[in-house]
Structure 1
Amino acid sequence: MALRWKSADRVALGVVALIAIITLLAFFPLVKVIVLALSLAVVLIPFQERISKRISPALSAFCITFGVVTTGVMAVLLTFNVLYTNMDYLISLINSILDRFRTESSSDLITRFPDLGLEGLIDSVLLSLKQLLFSYLTLVPGVAVELLIFILALSIFIFSGPGMKADLNAMIPVDSRRNILVIWKRVYDTLYSIYIVHFSIAILTFFLALPFFWILGFDHIVFYAVLCALFALIPFLGPVFILAFLALYAFSIRDIRALLLIIFIGYPLLCVFTDMYLRPVLMGKRVEIHPVVIFIGFLGGMATMGLVGFILGPFLLSLLIGGYQIVVQEIGGVPVTPEESPVTKG
């Protein structure tokens, strides 16, 4: 297929482009919400294609959207509630660790540790975090509107996705399809890794952490399990920070049993098994996104775009990597032959 630039109505195309620009500027504050819905729909479209063979496409899109949104909202509300209600407990736990080192250690460095102002700094950070969580709760009306737009956009993207995919595929010249496939595969693999693999690892970590912290004997089991699940979303980090903090607490109160359990059971179970073994297995050979890229995308995206950057950061870096591969292919002559992703099959 060749693009029909000579026979195309350029005036009409210009008007369409102008309308698109005006619409983008008018709805620019909601662009992140729309892009987030589109990115999730990309991963869910294969499910839509399979389910719509048995029921109507409209009902299939509704069921998928309802299930995903309900699960996501319940998970977010539970997480915020657990974190907010246990913030005072976390502050008291840190103060207990600092007090123990201050009163029992004979080391000059640790004796002067509180004089460095670190205790007040930690309290200030934790209180700021608590205020931040409360501020998010006060933004419920605006968040509710964005959530409604997200739900509607997700539903229409899932419903129209198969048709849009076919239309876009027909518009791409045959000579360019291989290069476009490079970008598409990178994008799909990244979104698959974020939505399917990382959230699956987080859920598994949560359920593995519950019995571990019960055996450990610490209070607030759900609180620690939620923290481990949140950190498990980020490659390399995992729940290691939570376990290191609890190991420090166990050492400060001379609980050798808890310390040994954290080192020899908690770390292998919640960090090594899930992050170093299971995550690469679930991503599989088809997902060729390096964990370092996803890690940079997570942190950089959240630093520049807020919570939505958790998704858009790796997404944009994947587009950049796909573009780099195309440049290498077209200018350097290095062959790039990515395998066809599941979304492009059929």
Structure 2
Amino acid sequence: MTNRRPYVLGGFLLALSVLVAFILVDVLATVFFAITVAYLLIPLRRWLEDRGTSRWVASVVSTIAAAIGVVVVFSPLVVILFLRLNDLVALASLIPDTLSIDLFGFFYQLTLDEAFTVGFSLLRSVARATALAAPVILIKLTLFGFLVFALLISGDSVGRTLLALVPEAYHHEATALNTRARETLFAIYVLQAATAVGTFVIAVPVFWLLGYDFVITLATIAAVLQFIPIAGPSFLLAGIAAYHLAVGDIVAAGLVIVAGGLFIAWLPDILIRPRLAKETADLPGSLYFVGFIGGLLSLGPVGIIAGPLAVALLAETVSLLREELNVEDESETPTNGQIPDDSAPPTTDGTANDS
């Protein structure tokens, strides 16, 4: 008689996982990001262990490496703000005391004092919201760090336990899905960095052609903001356009919105991500784009990772099913432009009747 205890316990595990997810719904995105990051850091932890480092020390070093990576990504914004603060103040001094808008028969006049009043009011609202959210953000960051460390410590045993729960006949499929998930996650994070670099490369000539002085500075800000796909660089472009409107240069504002929005905010996500997805994750660009956009619109920021991952696992499952059913790929079917005729009845020796 087949031992049913492992499967009953597996059912309990699944039910409790759903219950825990429901209870921890407010931090579910944090947990998901922690799992994906730990999943990618496990090879680094194993590499450190192979060189004589203890499991605990290797996990600490890997977690710190992830934290340093995040700091390195966003530190250019702080450095640029520090180095260009005087230039920003000089640009602000060029804004006229009165802004007049006369467009299509509509006339509106805004004084600098009124603009500052509105701006400071908005700034106070943002500061108040940030202050209220700061404790929650700090707690989530702490939770993220502890989760990554805990998963690095015990991730191997959890993986082996889940694999042991799968019937031995399906170990190949489970291993294939695990490999696909790891490769896809690695590709997604690499794609984020590659898209940021691509945004920088594209933004430099675009800002130069638009006549800006601090081309490298603006391109760097756009590249860092690209980690918030599409919307990130749009914040920079909107700020530049608002400045042009403030000094009365409507044409420049329109150019930076149209040209910058097309080439800096939109093009990298459309051009770079799908192409590199095929190279790094062996995932067709169209499927990656569907997962990326669908996940972003459905789940928010967590969908940037969850969407392509779900699509990749679905594609891998279809591939496994095709192998199981011995379905040949069309590209592998040797044809000379004609479809083989399978309607001819076989002869007694097993070959097709040529008559």
| Conservation of the 8 A alpha-carbon contact between 2:295 and 2:308 | yes
1:122-143 CA-to-partner distances (Å, cap 9, x unmatched) read xx9xx99997798456412111
Identity value in percent: 21
In structure 2, how many angstroms separate the alpha carbons of the residues matched to 1:254 and 1:24?
51
Question: What's the CA shift string for 1:88-112, capped at 9, x where partnerless?
Answer: 99xx9xx99xx99x98xxxxxx968
Does residue 322 of structure 1 match 2:299? no
Residue 339 (structure 1) aligns with: none
Which segments of 5 or more consecutive residues in structure 1 lack a partner in the other structure? 104-109, 116-123, 337-346
Paired residues of 1:202 and 1:233 also in contact (CA < 8 A): no
1:151 aligned to 2:145?
Answer: yes
Residue 66 of structure 2 corresponds to residue 72 of structure 1: no
Assess if the C-alpha contact under 8 Å between 2:31 and 2:144 holds in 1.
Answer: yes
**CA positional deviation for 1:114:** 9.5
> Matched residue of 2:281: which SS?
coil
Amino acid at match of 1:59: V
User: Equivalent residue for 1:39?
Assistant: 36
2:26 is aligned to 29
Q: What TM-score do you get using the length of structure 2 for normalisation?
A: 0.60
Q: Looking at secondary structure, tell me which structure has more helix per residue.
A: 1
Q: Distance in 1 between matches of 2:194 and 2:312?
A: 21
Say yes or no: does 1:222 pair with 2:217: yes
Kindly report the root-mean-square deviation, in angstroms, between the aligned alpha carbons of the 2 structures: 5.3
Retained in 2: the 8 A contact 1:301–1:309? yes
**Residue identity opposite 1:69 in structure 2:** A
The verdict on how the C-alpha distance between 1:304 and 1:268 changes in structure 2, with shifts beyond 3 A counting, is closer
- Please identify the structure whose Cα radius of gyration is greater: 2
Structure 2 stretches lacking a partner, 5+ long: 109-117, 330-355
Structure 2 residue 293 is matched with structure 1 residue 299 = yes
Matched-pair contact (CA < 8 Å) for 1:58–1:159: yes
Q: Could you tell me how far 1:17 is from its partner in structure 2? A: 4.9
2:61 is aligned to 63
Answer whether contact 1:49 1:162 (CA < 8 A) is retained: no
Distance in 1 (alpha carbons) for counterparts of 2:107 and 2:290? 34
> 2:341 aligns to what?
none
User: Which whole-Å CA distance do the structure 2 matches of 1:277 and 1:171 have between them?
Assistant: 42
CA–CA distance in 2 between the matches of 1:13 and 1:241? 47
Over 3 Å counting, the alpha-carbon distance change for 1:298 and 1:128 in structure 2 is: farther
1:334 aligns to 2:331 (yes or no):
no
Do the aligned partners of residues 77 and 142 (structure 1) sit closer, same or farther apart at CA in structure 2, a change above 3 Å counting? farther
Distance, in Å, in 1 between the alignment partners of 2:316 and 2:105 is 52
Contact 2:199–2:226 (CA under 8 A) maintained in structure 1: no
Cα distance between partner residues in 2 of 1:20 and 1:271: 38
Judge conservation of contact 1:197–1:282 (CA < 8 Å) in 2: yes
Task: For CA contacts below 8 A with separation 6 or more, give which structure has more relative contact order.
Answer: 1
TM-superposed deviation, 1:50: 1.0
Taking the aligned partners of 1:286 and 1:27, their CA distance within structure 2 comes to 33
For residues 186 and 151 of structure 1, the distance between their equivalents in structure 2, rounded to whole angstroms, comes to 25
Change (3 A) 1:163 1:241: same
Partners of 2:289 and 2:274 in 1: how far apart?
14
Is the CA contact (8 Å cut-off) linking 1:43 and 1:188 kept in structure 2? yes
* Deviation sequence 1:277-313 (CA, Å, 0-9, x none): 9878976746212233333333322222222222222
* Pair 1:231–1:14, CA change in 2 (3 A): closer
Is the Cα–Cα contact under 8 Å of residues 292 and 308 in structure 2 kept in the other structure?
Answer: yes
